[in-house]
Amino acid sequence: MHGITLLGPVAADHSSQARAGSGFDKTAFTIDWDNEQAICPRGATSVSWTELKMKENTYLQARFAEAVCRSCPDRTRCTSSATRPRSVAVLPRPLHEIQTRNRLDQHTEQWQRRYAIRAGIEATLSQNVRAHGLRRSRYRGLARTHVQHILTAIACNVARVAAWIDTAPTTRRRATHFRTLCSATA
């Protein structure tokens, strides 16, 4: 749409069925977007399709018939409710498709490599915010703030070089296998 690729991990399905790993989570249901229905793994079709607002987001909720859910032999794998039928809430179609594709992509090696670059950048920003006060400018005016940002970047680089050069551990923690290997070859 805007030519921007948003790269970040998509949170896993947090439903009780997905957490247990043994029930029917959202991915087990087939969504028929044209007929505005959801089809359960046993073949039952939802009876209602309504918009639902949760945490300022719009979802589409498919509810199944109570009579069909109660007589289903897989009821315990599908819902934890003793009386209410199963319902499935999904994002609108374009967002649902993007979310599903991104959940699959984040397990590929290519995605992991791309995200590692972003994670490194985020670590640098986090270090500058915590250690060097990047979010607050001590000065007024664009030119002075720019100088502060340059000095902050220099301070970050000096701190990283000093940590790289320093071979004596600053904590009492056990040396990592990598550090032990480096020390043995030196």
Q: 81-92: per-residue pLDDT in tens? A: 888 888 888 899
Q: 113-126: per-residue pLDDT in tens? A: 888 888 888 888 88
The domain tally of the chain equals: 2
Q: 59-70: per-residue pLDDT in tens? A: 999 999 988 888
Q: How confident is residue 186, by pLDDT bands cut at 50, 70 and 90?
A: low
Q: Which amino acid, residue 107? A: H
User: Which residues touch 10 (CB under 8 Å, ≥6 apart)?
Assistant: 99, 102, 103, 106
Same domain, residue pair 91 and 24: yes
Mutual angle of helices 109-132 and 142-165, in 10-degree steps: 110
Contact 128, 156 (CB under 8 A): yes
Number of Cβ within a 10 Å radius of residue 7: 13
Same domain, residue pair 50 and 131: no
Complete edge-to-edge strand list for the sheet that includes strand 87-90: 48-54, 57-63, 87-90
Angle made by CA atoms 88, 91, 97, in degrees to the nearest 5: 110
Residue 9 lies in a domain: no
Same domain, residue pair 101 and 57: yes
Range of 82's domain? 16-105
